[in-house]
């Protein structure tokens, strides 16, 4: 039988609370919860929630106070207001009565002198500026010499025959005649000697040929004398006159080229702008106008009416112009004309909604600035046109129908009146009988 040995620790003394109920021994978690609260516990359980709530309140306050507020402040400059109830608005530009005339140079060259300044009043034909003409002056001298040569040749032909030449040709004729006599005598002697068989036949032939040559020379001398006495041929005179005319035309052409180097004003007006200086080179088609002219005694306004508003436009409607920067002034406008070709809009207002492909109808108004501050050429204005539709006119067909009806009614009334008058007259005759 096995012997049971007791556990070595069985003899150890048990604690004093052994044998008590288990409820009397609380667990470790309860022991930890019932320990004293430290500063870390206070920060964790109280301050952090309070700090979170404060940050949430600050975020709400910040969002509410920094939210953009849409306000409608008054504009820095009061916009222009139309004087009409129904308005057609357009942008306009002030221009001269003759429009703005851009003066250029027909020929390229170097400017040597500018003869006007901005603001000068010029008449038609007044020189504005002049180009270098030294090359054309030299060519003109050559053309003048050619004309002198052509005229001298014509005078020489018209003065023919020259009296000093006639004796010379007469002497040549006498010389040729003497040669013919000499050769005739020599031929006669040669024939006599040949008949006597003293002279060979070859010598006789030579004498005959010499006589023929002498006679031919005599005929030529006589013909030269006749030609000299006859004077110049009529057709030679015509050719000489044509050469003179051609030389005169060349010189006149050169004078025109020289005159074109001095640019002149073609209309009366005021010099609005000068964009050229002495020493500058100007071409036939400059990038900008050299001089701008215009008659500013009476100003016009060129209004651009949008193509969508053309149907509302009426030439008989009143119009007013308001200059930018002086919106209290309203200038009355008088209709002048409509340019019927609709063009792309060039004078842009800068509005974000404005399309660059807009086409406009250009209307010209006469500007009456009496009693108002002066306006200047190129100044932009706002144009307001009364868009109220006038009473519609009666169509031609309806009017003709009404006229026909009126005429028929009048004719029937007249016929009725005549018939009544005739009947009453018959009754009177019957009573008298």
Cis-peptide, bond into residue 161, ω within 30° of zero: yes
Q: Which residues partner with 293 through β-bridges?
A: 101, 271
Tokens of 81: 């207001």
What gap in Å lies between CA 326 and CA 381, rounded to an integer? 10
Strands 109-114 and 269-274: unpaired
What gap in Å lies between CA 200 and CA 190, rounded to an integer? 9
Question: What Cα–Cα distance (Å) separates residue 57 from each residue in 8, 45, 85?
Answer: 69, 19, 54
What gap in Å lies between CA 271 and CA 169, rounded to an integer? 73
Residue-level pLDDT at 406: 56
What gap in Å lies between CA 155 and CA 146, rounded to an integer? 14
Residues in the chain: 433
- Per-residue pLDDT 10s for the chain (433 aa) are 444 445 444 444 444 444 444 445 555 555 555 667 777 777 777 777 888 888 888 888 888 888 776 667 776 667 777 888 888 999 899 999 888 898 988 888 999 999 999 999 999 999 999 999 999 999 999 999 999 999 999 998 888 887 888 888 888 888 889 999 998 988 888 888 888 888 888 888 898 899 899 999 989 988 888 888 888 888 889 999 999 999 999 999 999 999 999 999 988 999 999 999 999 998 766 567 899 999 888 899 999 999 888 988 988 888 999 998 888 889 999 999 999 999 888 765 555 555 566 889 999 999 988 888 889 998 999 999 998 765 454 444 444 445 455 555 555 555 555 545 444 444 343 433 3
Residue-level pLDDT at 32: 54
Residue-level pLDDT at 414: 56
Count the neighbouring beta carbons within 10 Å of the beta carbon of residue 122.
Answer: 19
240, 157 contact by CB (below 8 A): yes
Three-state SS for the chain is: CCCCCCCHHHHCCCCCCCCCCHHHCCCHHHHHHCCCCCHHHHHHHHHHHHHHHHHHHHHHHHHHHCCCCCCCCCCCCCCCCCCCCCEEEEEEEEEECCCCEEECCCCCEEEEEECCCCCCEECCCCEEEEECCHHHHHHHHHHHHHHHHHHHHHHHHHCCCCCCHHHHHHHHHHHHHHHHHHHHHHHHHHHHHHHCCCCCHHHHHHHHHHHHHHHHHHHHHHHHHHHHHHCCCHHHHHHHHHHHHHHHHHHHHHHHHHHHCEEECCCCEEEEEECCCCCCEECCCCCCCCEEEECCCCEEEEEEEEHHHHHHCCCCCCEEEEECCCCCCCEEEEEEEEEEEEEECCCCCCCCCCCCCCEEEEEEEEECCCCCCCCCCCCEEEEEEECCCCCCCCCHHHHHHHHHHHHHHHHHHHHHHHHHHHHHHHHHHHHHC
Per residue in 133-151, pLDDT (tens digit) is: 999 999 999 999 999 999 9
Strands 331-344 and 359-367: antiparallel
Residue-level pLDDT at 133: 92
């Amino acid at each position: 039988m096995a012997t049971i040995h007791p556990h070595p620790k069985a003899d150890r003394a048990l604690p004093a609370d052994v044998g008590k109920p288990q409820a009397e021994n609380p667990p470790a978690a309860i022991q930890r919860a019932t320990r004293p609260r430290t500063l870390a516990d206070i920060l964790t359980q109280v301050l952090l929630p309070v700090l979170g709530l404060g940050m949430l309140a600050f975020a709400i306050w910040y969002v509410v106070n920094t939210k953009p507020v849409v306000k409608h402040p008054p504009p820095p400059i009061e916009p222009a207001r139309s004087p009409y109830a129904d308005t057609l608005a357009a942008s306009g530009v002030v221009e001269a009565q003759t429009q703005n005339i851009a003066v250029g140079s027909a020929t390229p060259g170097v400017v040597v002198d500018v003869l006007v300044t901005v603001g000068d009043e010029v008449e038609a034909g007044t020189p504005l500026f002049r180009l270098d003409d030294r090359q054309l002056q030299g060519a003109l001298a050559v053309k003048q010499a050619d004309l002198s040569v052509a005229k001298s040749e014509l005078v020489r032909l018209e003065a023919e025959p020259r009296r000093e030449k006639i004796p010379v040709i007469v002497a040549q004729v006498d010389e040729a005649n003497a040669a013919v006599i000499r050769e005739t005598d020599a031929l006669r002697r040669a024939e006599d000697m040949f008949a006597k068989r003293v002279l060979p036949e070859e010598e006789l032939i030579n004498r005959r040929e010499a006589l023929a040559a002498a006679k031919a020379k005599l005929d030529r001398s006589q013909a030269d004398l006749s030609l000299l006495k006859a004077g110049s041929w009529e057709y030679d005179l015509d050719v000489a006159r044509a050469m003179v005319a051609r030389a005169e035309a060349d010189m006149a052409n050169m004078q025109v080229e020289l005159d074109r180097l001095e640019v002149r004003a073609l209309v009366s007006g005021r010099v609005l702008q000068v964009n050229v200086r002495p020493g500058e080179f100007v071409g036939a088609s400059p990038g900008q106008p050299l001089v701008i002219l215009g008659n500013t005694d009476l100003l016009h306004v060129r209004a651009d009416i949008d193509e969508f508003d053309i149907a509302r436009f009426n030439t008989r409607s009143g119009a007013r112009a308001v200059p930018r920067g002086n919106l209290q002034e309203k200038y009355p406008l008088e209709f002048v004309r409509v340019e019927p070709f609709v063009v792309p809009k060039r004078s842009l207002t800068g509005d974000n909604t404005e399309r660059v492909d807009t086409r406009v109808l250009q209307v010209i108004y006469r500007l009456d600035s009496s009693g108002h501050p002066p306006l200047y050429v190129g100044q932009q204005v706002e144009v307001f046109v009364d868009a109220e539709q006038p009473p519609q006119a009666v169509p031609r067909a309806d009017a003709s129908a009404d006229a026909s009806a009126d005429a028929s009614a009048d004719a029937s009334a007249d016929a009725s009146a005549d018939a009544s008058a005739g009947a009453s007259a018959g009754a009177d005759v019957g009573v008298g009988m």
